[in-house]
A = this chain, B = another copy of it.
């Protein structure tokens, strides 16, 4: 059986990393988590942009519309500071907003730090792509993905993307019985 690889876009949003002042550790942390969680063949398409809304929007649109990523995740730029504009960029390119992602990501992070309520992360749909803002720190990225990814594969089904499967020992993704492919039952 030939299977086309699913594409996942990863956008690191950081003024300093984009100027080369430090190494991006967050993008690679996302790649590592996804590699451990997904059993479906996939490939990453990565971008590194400064905290500028037009550049973030451009990267997101390109990954959704040109690279045809079924999932695009961002890291960085979701706090309350002046330069934090990742949620604004994400909402600006959205067809549909999924408020449950932001709520659940904050609820998950709140188990670790009370400042989790300062995060403005959102999840949206653009065309057939799901776009999710993750936090900036590798530790928080892992906690967040552990807390929300169970809902991601079924969401991608619903918006017309590929059928993603996960390794149950990392994250047990959920689909209603009617949405399960026979091969995976």
Contacts and interface: CB of A to CB of B under 8 A. Distances in A.
Interface string A108-130: 00100111111110010100001
Given A115-B155, A120-B97, A154-B118, A110 B106 contact: no
Nearest to A119: B100
A120 B100 CA distance: 7
A80 interface: yes
Given A106-B103, A113-B174, A158 B120 contact: no
B79 A115 contact: no
Number of copies: 3
Given A151-B117, A154-B115, A174-B114, A159 B96 contact: no
A161 to B, nearest CB: 11
Given A100-B117, A101-B117, A117-B151, 18 more contacts: A79-B158, A80-B98, A80-B158, A81-B160, A98-B117, A99-B99, A99-B103, A100-B118, A103-B107, A104-B106, A104-B110, A104-B117, A113-B174, A114-B150, A114-B174, A115-B174, A115-B175, A118-B154
Interface of A: 79-82, 84, 88, 96-104, 106-107, 110, 113-120, 123, 125, 130, 148, 150-151, 154-155, 158-160, 174-176
23 contacts: A79-B158, A80-B96, A80-B155, A81-B158, A88-B96, A96-B120, A97-B120, A98-B117, A98-B118, A98-B120, A99-B106, A100-B117, A100-B118, A100-B119, A113-B174, A114-B151, A114-B174, A115-B150, A115-B151, A115-B155, A115-B174, A117-B151, A118-B154
